[in-house]
A = this chain, B = another copy of it.
Amino acid sequence: MTVSPDRKPVVVTDLDEAFAAVRATGLRLTAARRLVLEALLAARAPISAEDIADGLGGRMTQSDIASVYRNLETLGELGLVRHFHAGHGPGRYVLEGFGDREYLACESCGLLESVEPAALETVRDAVRDLSGFEASFSHFPIVGLCARCAKKRARAAR
């Protein structure tokens, strides 16, 4: 079993910064790489590799899914991109530039509720109190029902 090496997030908030960050590492700024960055920046939310390869449903240029995965991995190693698994389905990728966020995944409506990492500190504390287990929600977020769906569920069960 492996654990991803600690990568310091590299915050970029526009394309130029992203491109500069890539160039600064000596990596090449190819068309495929640019497309990935553009899609992530346009999405402003966690999306799948397929979303990117599709060009966000046709709104952008399409690209090869294998290159997308390779670039997501590379950009992840650079600290520009983070990815996580929210329940079933494909992994989600998001630009670190949108701020340090963690997510709560609603398994009913698909909502990815974004919360500040600090807010989850009390949650991590509660887990740690159990047995010293250090919970990490950044790669496998908490899954459940958002407030809306939980209410709906409660109403349905009445």
Contacts and interface: CB of A to CB of B under 8 A. Distances in A.
Contacts of A119: 130
A84 B125 CA distance: 24
A123 B133 contact: no
A90 interface: no
A136 B140 contact: no
A122 B126 contact: yes
Oligomeric state, in number of copies? 2
A60 interface: no
Interface string A141-157: 01111110011000000
B127 A147 contact: no
Interface of A: 1, 3, 85, 87-88, 104, 106-110, 113, 115, 119-120, 122-123, 125-127, 129-137, 139-140, 142-147, 150-151
